[in-house]
Structure 1
Amino acid sequence: MCLLLLSPSLGENTLDIARQFCQFAGKMAQNDGQTSQIDETDRALVALLAANARMPVADLARRLGLARTTVQARIERLVTRGAIAGFTIRRGTALKEAVRATVLVCIEPRAQAEVLARLRQLSTVETVHTTSGRFDLMVVLCAGSTQELDGSLDRIAEARGVKSSESLIHLSTKLDRRG
């Protein structure tokens, strides 16, 4: 709510400016009680953290040309607002599984819960996404060998509620923007 006490002697122009100010203040207040948006500095900070989530705040500050306390406050604000959901590691080549595949799965109507329960039991399942179009689920598998991958594909195909599946074996990575 915006409350301005104005003199009756003010002109219509001043009243219009005051109304615009109140509209602007209302829009800013609707932003979860926070008046700041994610700006280019925040985006640069998130990019640096995405490349190395363990980078010390002092190094982040130096690269961004900001004070360490400013960077720490920005990180805390981004976490609080949900822009940053957490900090994690990415496996290097020494720890990456040898074989990866994407499996496109068609399921019976109302069988999603049962199929997802089966997929959760498979240690090779990395992610499961619902999709639009011809397939219902997209499953990403990571296996230590082609034999382990083959076994996982068999268990997916055998799961009750699965009508059909199509496997796409990942051969090489040509672009990875995750860092």
Structure 2
Amino acid sequence: MIDRLDAEIISKLAENARIGIAELAAELGVSRTTIQLRLRRLEDEGVLLGFQPIVNLSKVGAAVEALITLEIDQRRMATVVRGLHALPEVLEVRIQAGREDILAHVGIASLEDLQVLTTAIVGIEGVRKTTSMFTVSTPVRYRLAPLLRKLTAEAGWGRASPAPGEADPQARP
């Protein structure tokens, strides 16, 4: 479980993954050592899985983003996932519960390329049917801060100190 300080560290990194330890510590009102120890713990515990740049796909030649749902033969799940992983246009694969078994997020150069990609996906052993949906715009990009703040609202700020600007919760009036 994470606390509010962890949530703020993660949120700041999500906003700017290139922020320095000293700057992060200053913004959050804690020591550099605290930030370093927290980051190491968050990585060791598998909370932070890595850092990646956010890329404008259209600027690198993938002008079309699509979500492709797949209905598959459940006994072939591993084969289908391996087949999707082998396709460079596949950005992410999620296994789902519901009518469709898999959701694949893809980036492609054109609608013609989507047709070629869809044909390749249907050719993977175990794929029964695909349905494609195109992304027209993304008004809310992937974000973490609101969810983390909600999940840690009652968690407290660190082990021994209140959040900056808050009274010490252990102090008595």
Pair 1:48-2:12 in alignment: yes
Which of 68, 71, 76 is residue 35 of structure 2 equivalent to?
Answer: 71
- Aligned residues: CA RMSD: 2.0
Which of 116, 141, 155 is residue 176 of structure 1 equivalent to?
Answer: 141
* Alignment size in residue pairs: 143
Pair 1:58-2:22 in alignment: yes
Q: Secondary structure at the match of 1:111?
A: helix
**Distance in structure 2 (CA, Å) of the matches to 1:157 and 1:166:** 11
Which of 89, 109, 129 is residue 124 of structure 1 equivalent to?
Answer: 89
Greater shift in the superposed pair: 117-126 or 107-116? 107-116
- Pick the structure with greater CA Rg: 1
Structure 2 counterpart of 1:86, which letter? Answer: G
Structure 2 counterpart of 1:155, which letter? Answer: A
Residue 157 of structure 1 deviates from its aligned partner by 2.1
CA contact (8 A) 2:61 2:108 kept: no
Residue 114 of structure 1 deviates from its aligned partner by 2.5
Q: Unaligned regions of 5+ residues in structure 2, if any?
A: 145-173
Structure 1 counterpart of 2:2, which letter? Answer: I
Q: Unaligned regions of 5+ residues in structure 1, if any?
A: 1-36
Structure 2 counterpart of 1:82, which letter? Answer: G
Pair 1:143-2:108 in alignment: yes
Which of 98, 104, 114 is residue 133 of structure 1 equivalent to?
Answer: 98
Residue 147 of structure 1 deviates from its aligned partner by 2.0
Provide the identity percentage: 32
Provide TM-score, normalisation by structure 2: 0.74
Residue 60 of structure 1 deviates from its aligned partner by 0.4
Distance 1:116 1:77, change over 3 A: closer
Residue 84 (structure 1) aligns with: 48
Distance 1:96 1:72, change over 3 A: farther
Q: Which has the higher contact order (CA 8 A, sep 6+)?
A: 2
